[in-house]
Structures are given as structure tokens and as C-alpha cells.
Structure 1
Amino acid sequence: MFMRSCSQPSPLFSRAMARLSLRLAEARAWSLALAACLFSIGAQASASSGAERAGVAAVIQDYLDGSSYNRSDQLRRAFHADARLYLSGKDGAMREVGIAEYAAWFNDSPGQFNGRVGHLLNVQVDGDIASAKAEIVMGREPARFTDLFLLRRFEGQWKIISKTATRHAGPAHVKRVLVVLSNVSQMPGTTLGAGNSFVELVHTYSRLREAGYGVQFVSPEGGAVPLAYVDTRDVDQRAHVYDADFMWALAHSRKPEQVQASDYVALMYMGGSAAMFGVADNPAVRALALQIYEQQSGLLAAVCHGSAGLTELHLADGTPLVRGKRVTGYPDAFENKNAAYYKSFPFSIEQRLLERKAVFTQGPRNQPHVEVDGRLITGMSWESTRDVVAALLRQLDGRLNPSR
């Protein structure tokens, strides 16, 4: 009886199901339309917010360039005519100056670099007001300052209306290190997420900053990068999760085209699953690495899966950069070759490096293992990150202080 009633539904049941299907179709269409509308609004808001941040960043860049190259007109352009600057005076007293007086301090030798190196740390926009933070390193002293700005939009143009600064104790170098990240958030052909190793980022960034070096993040597409292996039980990682400047930098990585290789003394490839995708085969990233290493005699470093970035680097004569060099990276012996994540990898780091005639080495699992071969420094796994950075700093500091 049940089978017969199911195979031959009554007319009343059929009409009820038809009405229900129509209502469901209408509801689905309405929800899709609403989602599309919300997505459009969100995209427009995001684009608008991004445009405002870019406008603020451009103003701060006028300040940075104007003050670094004695371009008083460019410096004045960043400020409102009535802007006030609150600076350190004699014996710790506050000194208030106007923009005309401040800009006059940069009238000598127009266009000549004066030793100030600055870069943007953070931008926050709220309607027609904004705040920004920048770091200024004075290479001749050396000294490091944090500048804070308050901005307002007047007739569609952002202007600085106030600035103050503080000086930091400790080491300060005008030298900077470029850290390469990936934009890939999903392993191709799978539903698995991919990301840049957060713990490696924290160890690298914090140690370089403690040593007084500037750090800039770059990725093939620029902008926000995916993060993986975040463990807030770890004190250092938890501190950086709540570090606004650090997280802002990861959300606003630069494109290779926005970076001048001559500004950096070293380049380091970060690990994480994302490092296997979109980095090694990116010509702009490769060009940066080769210019720093080959043309500027800078240093290259990589850790864990970040060593994938080294596999496609060829010197001017066509020789693989790693040829004949001792290198390491995450070895095949530690990979699960039957897993979906591994099958999505475009190549094996170990095998590709061996194909390039590198001397590949590895150490015990879960232990640091680092190879230093001239200006090339590599680490096997995330546990090696601190030692890789330490080796990088030893060479960099040796160049700055050759007598040591």
C-alpha cells in the first residue's frame, strides 16, 4: 500500500508539492539576489575603503620622500596649511612648530638623499578622518623614530593636520630584508586550505626587528596573504596576533612591481603549504631574488617549504643558483606522499633541488637543521627558523661591522 501511494501520489498532494517547490524556488531566488546585493555592497565598501587607505598612504609617502630627499614642496604638499607638529625639544620639552617652519628645515641640497629612510607601518580610516604610523631610521646617527599622524579629508583630498614622533633606544639600521610570501589560500584540485607559516613569520619578523632591520613583505599579487599554523597558546605568536602593525603589514604586502631590489640587503622565502604555489614560477619574484643575490651581492635565505622558491632561480649564465651548493628544505622522507595535500604539490622540493645539482641535506625530524653555503642560507623545517635568521644576521652584521 505504501509503495503504491508513493508511486502514484494523489492530485492534492501533487498540487501541494508544486506550490511548495514554487515557494522554495522563489525563496532561493530571493536569497541569491540578496546575497549578490550584499556581496556587491561589500565589494564596493571594500574597494572604497581600500581607495581611501591608498589615498592616505600616498600622502604619507609624500612626507617620507619629501623629508628624505630635501623636497620641501613635496613635504608641504602632504600637510594642511594650518597643520601643527609636536616634536621633542630641549631637555625633553615639547616643541610645537607649523608646517612652513618644519619644511624650511629641508631646503638644503634639494633632491639629495639626506640619510633618512622611512616606511609606512599602518593606516586606519574612519569616514573623513584617518590615522597613520611610519618608521623613520636616521642612518647617519643611527636613530629610529616612530611618527604618528592625524589626517582629515578636505574637499576629497587627504591632508595631515597633526604629527608627533618618539625616538627609540636600541639598534637601528637603514638596511632592510624582503620576506617573500604566497597568496594561494587553497591547494589546487582540493578543498584543502593553504597558508604561510605564521610561526616562521613571527620568528623571522621579531628577530630581524630586534636586531634593528626593517622588514617588508612581498607576494606575487600583493595585499592580504593567507596564514597557517597559528597557535595562540604560544606566547610569541599570541603577541603578534594582537600586534596591529605586524598584522597590517601582512594584510598589505607589496607586489614585486612596487619593490625596489636595491632597497634590500637580503631576501628570505617563508615556508608553509602556500609556499609551494605561485612563488617559484613567478618571474617578478625571481627577478627580485636574483638582483639582490647576483647583482647586489646580497643574501638569500629560505626555510622549510620556502626552499621551493630557490628551485627556479638561474644565474645570468643560465646556471641554477643552487648548483653545487649545500641546501636543505622540507625533505620527502617527512612528507605523506599518499595524502591529497602532497599530490597537489607541483613538484618535490628535494627532487627538484637534486635535479638542479644541489647538495641536499637533512637532519632529524622535529630538530633544527641549517645549511650555510656562502650567501645562501636554508633551514629544513619551521624549527630551523630562528637559526636561519641568526645565520642571516651574523653575515649582515659582519658586513656592517667588518672589524667584528
Structure 2
Amino acid sequence: MSPHRSLSVILLNICLVLGVPEQAIASAASSTPATEVKTQAGSSYTDTEQVTRTLTDYLEGTANSEPEKLRRAFHPDFKLYVVNEANELVTRSGEQYIMNFNNGKKNNRVGRILSIDIENNAAMAKVEVLAQNQRQYTDYFMLMKYQGAWKIVQKSYTWKEIPKQGNKILFVTSNQHTYGNTNLNAANHFAEIVIAYDIFRKNGYTVDFVSPQGGAIPLGYIETSNSIQKAHLYDTDFMRMLKNTFKPTQINASDYKAVYYSGGGSAMFGVADNKEIQNIVGQIYGNGGVVSAICHGTAGIVNLKDSSGKSIFSNKKITGFPDIFENTNAEYYKTFPFSIDKEIIRNGGDFVYSKKFGNNFFITDGNIVTGQDPSATASVAQQVIKTIQKN
């Protein structure tokens, strides 16, 4: 791969996570522009959008046992190639494959598109599927543009077992790109994500990301002079995870031992009032799991209640980003739906903080771990691990 091509791929991954429109990505990366195709209705779709629709037909067809969607997705000469458990190469035609999904029975399969790479009339795609048999499948597709439409001509896959009680931690992030309805950019705090992620992964934990809407999340506060941040920024697999965060409906609460709310201005919006995320975290906490948050991420926990309807942090010490460090007269602050410290207190918590910014201030009270500002990110992650191991 040439240096220019490598730069294009890096720009593509970063821009998609930041929510930059695909047309702008093509221009910025100076790569082959996406071809637009006119439909009969007159609307236009890029090749990437068409491939996405084809892959969505495949995902929905297999999840809901809808043969017609699979036939729509597959080229007439579709072939499946897979090595079975006996180490034998197995091939199947499209119709042989579709026969497995003719019963009309919905399957407990959750899938997401990880990557799409298009070159003229050929494309490669990668999809992840979590299945009811406790397996995680990685599907690899070859697609061709056939009679004006993108069709899957070949599929292969690999899989691995997912432990029912695996060491998994759920990161809660936000899709909010602006402060309220203003034009002021808001973002998830990159360091608060990657520093904690790095510690959890090095200690043997699997991390998943969820956001209220799923999909790409905005990122900010990036410091490429920090080696950990830089390594993750150019890690395409990690950046794909932030581009493809799970929707709450795709999360099984029983899979997780802890929740971690990352911060940044975006964390003030859309998370605290999301009932689905509240229910997920409530179940994890009710099962003895750990709830943690850093900086503005504490905003996400203000409405969490236990099975009796009482705040999970009632009479507990909690910290987060306090108003004394906010510019309360600034336009950005006026968009906040609430004050973190005041809302924690209003709901029965004991909000505590250090008057000095950046001194690694954090609190552990029972199964709740919170940090005041980015300097406490590593300590919060380490305390989460200690609390899990103690339980």
C-alpha cells in the first residue's frame, strides 16, 4: 500500500468516527470519489450506501429468516467458503445457504458492519455477528457491482466462543456533536476513553461501546503527543469500534461486570435520560456489577435507580466535574440540561471534589467508582478492576 493510500485509509477511519460526511471524506483523502447512482425514484446513493444496504439485507435476512432479502443480497453465483471443525473446506451455493433460513423463525443474531473497502466495481466488507449459540462470527464478504447493483458474490467466516460470564466492561458514550442546539462543537473525551480502555484490555477484559443511537461518536481533546492516545488513534480496529458503537437494544446486560461512563462535553446530552441505557446499567449494578464514571461522564448516572426506585448513589460519595471548574456564564454551559454536582445532591448523593484541578481525585464507595477530571482516568479504571476482583 502506498503512503498516499495509507493516509487515505487513516483519514477515512478518523473522519467517519468524527461524523464527517462521506463526500467530504472522499475529497479530504484525495481518493477515488464515491460514485452516485440514481434510483428509479430519483434519489441518489453512493456506492458505500448501496453496499451498506446490501449487507443490511443480509443481516436482516439471517436474523429474521427472510429468504427474499438474502436473494436480493446475493449474486446468482454466490458461494460460501468455510473451513469446518473437522478442518475440511466446505462450499455452499446461495440457495443451499438460504435453505437454513426458510423456517420464518427469528434468530437471536445481532450484527454490525465493521468495514467496507470499494475499488471501482469490486468491494470487500467485514461484518461482526453475535449469535444465540454464544459465538461471535466475523464474516468476510466479496461484492461486485452487477447490473447496476451491488451483490454479494462470496462469503467466508470465522468464529470464536463467547464466555457466558466473560470479563466484559461496557463503555457508555454519547452521539451528541454540539452543545445543545448551538453550533458549538461537543465531543467525547478521547483520553478518558483510551486510557481506561488500555488498562482494561491489558488486564484481560473485553470492552464494548454503547451510545444512545449506536454508530459513530464524535471525538475530541486528542493529544497525539501522548503515546497511548496516538497508538489508538492509528489503530484501525479500535477506531472502527468507535465508528460502530452498539445500540442499547444490542446489549445483553448479563454479559458485563462493570460499566464505565466516559466524559467530554457530549456526555451531558442524551445519556442520562436514555431509559434503555438506564435499564442496562440498572441490571448490571443489580447483579453486583460496578458502575463507574469519569469527569462529565458522571452526568450519565444522575438518574440511575436501584430495584426499589432509590438512586443507586443515595448516601454515597460521588465525584465528577464540579461547577467550580466550569465557566457558568459561557454559552456552552448554558446549554447543559443540569449541573452535575447539584443533580447528584438533589438525588441523594454526597457530591465531593478537590478544589485543585488535575490532582487525580477519585472516590470508591461500594460498587460505584467516580473520578473528578481526566487526571483520574487511570485510577478509576484500576479501582474498577480492584472492585470487580473483590466482589
Q: TM-score, normalising length from structure 1?
A: 0.67
In the other structure, the counterpart of 2:272 is: 280
Higher radius of gyration, 1 or 2? 1
1:247-258 equivalences in 2 (<5 Å): 247-258=239-250
Structure 2, gaps ≥5 residues long:
1-35, 64-69, 98-104
1:146/1:316 Cα in 2 relative to 1: closer, same or farther (>3 Å)? closer
1:174-208 deviations in whole A, cap 9, x for unaligned? Answer: 33222111121111254321111011111122222
Within the candidate set 295, 298, 308, 2:299 is matched to 308
Q: CA RMSD in A?
A: 4.3
CA–CA separation in structure 2 for the residues paired with 1:398 and 1:203: 22
| Paired residue type of 1:377 | V
Contact 1:218–1:253 (Cα < 8 Å) also in 2: yes
Q: TM-score, normalising length from structure 2?
A: 0.69
1:332/1:176 Cα in 2 relative to 1: closer, same or farther (>3 Å)? same
Is residue 2:201 matched to residue 1:209? yes
CA–CA separation in structure 2 for the residues paired with 1:299 and 1:62: 37
1:376-391 equivalences in 2 (<5 Å): 376-391=368-383
1:398/1:48 Cα in 2 relative to 1: closer, same or farther (>3 Å)? farther
Contact 1:194–1:274 (Cα < 8 Å) also in 2: yes
1:159 CA displacement: 4.8
Is residue 2:125 matched to residue 1:131? yes
Q: Which moved more, 1:250-259 or 1:171-180?
A: 171-180
Within the candidate set 192, 201, 212, 1:200 is matched to 192
In the other structure, the counterpart of 1:334 is: 325
1:121/1:186 Cα in 2 relative to 1: closer, same or farther (>3 Å)? same
Highest RCO, 1 vs 2 (Cα 8 Å, sep ≥ 6): 2
1:85/1:42 Cα in 2 relative to 1: closer, same or farther (>3 Å)? closer
1:25-71 deviations in whole A, cap 9, x for unaligned? Answer: xxxxxxxxxxxxxxxx69966676346336436757999x9xxxxxx
Q: Secondary structure at the residue paired with 1:221? A: coil
1:258/1:166 Cα in 2 relative to 1: closer, same or farther (>3 Å)? closer
Contact 1:59–1:158 (Cα < 8 Å) also in 2: no
Contact 1:326–1:373 (Cα < 8 Å) also in 2: yes
Is residue 2:220 matched to residue 1:228? yes
| Paired residue type of 2:197 | Y
1:396/1:59 Cα in 2 relative to 1: closer, same or farther (>3 Å)? farther
| Larger helix fraction of residues | 1
1:380 CA displacement: 0.9
Contact 1:121–1:245 (Cα < 8 Å) also in 2: no
Matched residue pairs, number? 331
CA–CA separation in structure 1 for the residues paired with 2:113 and 2:199: 17
Q: Secondary structure at the residue paired with 1:357? A: coil
1:49-198 equivalences in 2 (<5 Å): 49-50=48-49, 52-53=51-52, 55-56=54-55, 59=58, 82-85=79-82, 96-98=89-91, 122-126=114-118, 127-132=121-126, 134=128, 147=138, 149-152=140-143, 159=152, 161=154, 163=156, 174-188=166-180, 190-198=182-190
CA–CA separation in structure 1 for the residues paired with 2:379 and 2:117: 39
Structure 1, gaps ≥5 residues long:
1-40, 66-75, 104-110, 112-116, 400-404
| Paired residue type of 1:361 | V
Is residue 2:288 matched to residue 1:297? yes
